[in-house]
Amino acid sequence: MLNAKRVAIIGVFAALAFVVMYIEIPIFPAVNFLKYDPSDILVLLTAFIYSPTVGVIVLAIKDILFFIFKSQDIVGIAMNFAAGALFIVPAAIIYGKKNRFREILGYIIGTVAATGGMALLNMIVVPYYWKIPLEEVFKLLPWIIGFNAIKFSIDSVINGIIHRRVKNILEPDEAKI
């Protein structure tokens, strides 16, 4: 259910995620257009505590703000959104506010979905974006896969450590698991 408190919290999380997205760390020099930032942890928190739909809304607000105020790169933002959605939607659905096992399974399936899905998407997008032949993009594939696997593994571990505590603070009446 969406009450005024929840709408306010969702707005704060979207704003925080937008600011956190300014931390842009390229993990591998070979694919320095892929930049790690921890903002999807805030998105995943809202998806876990509220719902996958709320998570997608927070992800979209974060990306729209970042597009307007920082990057102005529609391809980069679309890829960030696609990666985030491929990760948080399966993770939050599988978790389903159930138990630790479902939560960990959610992280694993989410990370695999985002890593596999983004490998495919990059094969389609990168040849146009960098105007390089597909053979060249194939050489980047291990780095692209590695980047996404690392990015979403970090997000999973941090979310796994903090999500119950954050839930206890935000929704003390409902926080059981």
Residues in contact with ligand RBF by the rule CB under 6 A:
24, 33-35, 71, 73, 75-76, 79-80, 83, 118, 122, 125-126, 129, 144, 148, 151
Reduce the DSSP state of residue 35 to 3 states and report it: strand
Closer to ligand RBF by CB, 94 or 118: give it: 118
CB of 175 to ligand RBF, least distance (A): 30
- Which of residues 51 and 71 has its CB atom nearest to ligand RBF in the complex? 71
- b/e map of 12-35 (b: 16 or more CB within 10 Å)? ebbeebbebbeeeeebeeebebbb
Residues found in the chain: 177
Nearer to ligand RBF, 10 or 77 (CB): 77
Q: Which amino acid is at 30?
A: A
Shortest spacing between CB 41 and ligand RBF, in angstroms: 13
* Token pair of 77 as six digits: 């933002």
Give the CA distances from residue 152 to residues 18, 109, 121, 158, in Å, rounded to whole numbers and listed in that order: 18, 11, 16, 10
Instruction: Tell me how far, at minimum, the Cβ of 112 lies from ligand RBF, in Å.
Output: 14
- Between 5 and 70, name the residue whose CB sits nearer to ligand RBF: 70
